[in-house]
């Protein structure tokens, strides 16, 4: 990476981070020209477990995927969703150390109770603001590189209301959070209120979930409002799901993949994407 994520967030252009769930999806994000990606816990649950985002992932699940992504791509700014930190403040410290070593550029922690659930599902519950502030302090103390950012997320809008959510975020910022994430804001006015209060304290993250509770806005409009980082966490899995449903329906109907060829890569095309010719050529040096 030519600059770290902290420096990148200070540049005029908003950071747009598509969601990824494995090394292959992260490779496609990089090849599409993005300089950042968001490793979505929900998307790992969808693709690794075939289950919804209801707190079923372990730290090992997230760390293994982080390691695989970083081994394949050294340049992406990788924001890693660490859910609740997988326990109390001591667990949070282990989480931060492990994910930082695995290659996370930023580590996101949220103030839900465990087991957590997707921020755009109903029925969430929260830990106390003081406990969450302690987790943020623990995370900051555990990181070995000040360039590794700690993202504080609050889910309090749905539980305690907007004012309480902003109060919580003030406490998390005081505790050392580098990036501020108020989840599931309901309206543009709520987004503007959060930005007006919090943007002087640090860069804000906008979460764009197709069909979720927050208005879905283009990155340029989010930038104009004052957001510094926009994540599109589940879009890749939704696009993949739609494409695979079409492919499988066609195969089931025709008994062959030929009618679907215009919508898929052929064998050579996939190998070009993966860099197979270059890899094989490089191996010849060792024969």
Structure tokens at 119: 């921020």
pTM: 0.96
Residue 121: its pLDDT value, please? 78
In sequence order, what DSSP letters do the residues of 186-252 get, joined into one string?
-SHHHHHHHHHHHTTTS-BEEE--TTSSS----HHHHHHHT-SEEEETTHHHHHHHHHHHHHHHHHH
- Least confident range of 44-48, 74-78, 114-118, 153-157: 114-118
Please state, in angstroms and rounded to a whole number, the distance separating the CA atoms of residues 234 and 21: 9
pLDDT per residue as tens digits for the range 109-119: 999 998 898 88
Order across the sheet with 106-110: list the strands. 179-182, 149-154, 106-110, 77-81, 36-39, 15-20, 229-232, 205-207
> How far, in Å, are 242, 245, 247, 273 from residue 254 at the CA level?
18, 14, 11, 28
Please state, in angstroms and rounded to a whole number, the distance separating the CA atoms of residues 244 and 287: 40
Q: pLDDT tier at 140 (50, 70, 90 boundaries)?
A: very high
Whether the per-residue pLDDT at 57 is higher than 90: the answer is yes
Could you write out the three-class secondary structure of 9-55?
A: CCCCCCEEEEEECCHHHHHHHHHCCCCEEEECHHHHHHHHHCCCCCC
CA 116-140-206 angle, 5° bins: 55
pLDDT per residue as tens digits for the range 255-269: 999 999 999 999 999
Please state, in angstroms and rounded to a whole number, the distance separating the CA atoms of residues 140 and 170: 16
When pLDDT is averaged across residues 116-136 and rounded to a whole number, the result is 92
Whether the per-residue pLDDT at 53 is higher than 60: the answer is yes
Give CB contacts under 8 A, 24+ apart, made by 122-127: 122/158, 124/155, 124/158, 124/159, 125/159, 126/155, 126/156, 126/159, 126/160, 127/84
Residue 2: its pLDDT value, please? 56
């Amino acid at each position: 990476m030519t600059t770290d994520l902290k420096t990148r967030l200070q540049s005029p252009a908003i950071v747009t981070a598509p969601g990824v769930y494995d090394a292959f999806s992260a490779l496609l994000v990089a090849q599409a020209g993005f300089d950042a990606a968001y490793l979505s816990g929900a998307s790992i649950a969808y693709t690794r477990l075939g289950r919804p985002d209801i707190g079923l992932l372990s730290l090992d699940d997230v760390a293994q995927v982080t390691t695989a992504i970083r081994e394949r791509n050294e340049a992406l700014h990788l924001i890693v969703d660490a859910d609740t930190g997988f326990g109390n403040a001591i667990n949070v410290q282990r989480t931060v150390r492990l994910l930082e070593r695995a290659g996370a550029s930023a580590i996101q922690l949220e103030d839900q109770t465990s087991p957590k659930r997707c921020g755009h599902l109903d029925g969430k519950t929260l830990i106390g603001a003081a406990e969450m502030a302690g987790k943020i302090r623990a995370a900051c103390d555990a990181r070995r590189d000040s360039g590794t950012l700690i993202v504080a997320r609050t889910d309090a809008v749905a539980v305690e209301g907007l004012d309480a959510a902003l109060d919580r975020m003030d406490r998390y910022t005081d505790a050392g959070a580098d990036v501020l994430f108020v989840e599931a804001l309901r309206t543009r006015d709520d987004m503007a209120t959060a930005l007006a209060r919090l943007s002087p304290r640090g860069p804000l993250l906008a979460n764009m979930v197709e069909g979720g509770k927050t208005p879905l806005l283009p990155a340029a409009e989010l930038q104009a409002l004052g957001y510094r980082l926009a994540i599109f966490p589940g879009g890749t899995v939704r696009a993949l799901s739609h494409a695979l449903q079409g492919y499988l329906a066609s195969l089931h109907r025709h008994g062959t993949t030929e009618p679907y060829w215009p919508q898929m890569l052929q064998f050579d095309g996939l190998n070009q994407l993966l860099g197979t010719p270059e890899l094989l050529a490089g191996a010849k040096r060792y024969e």
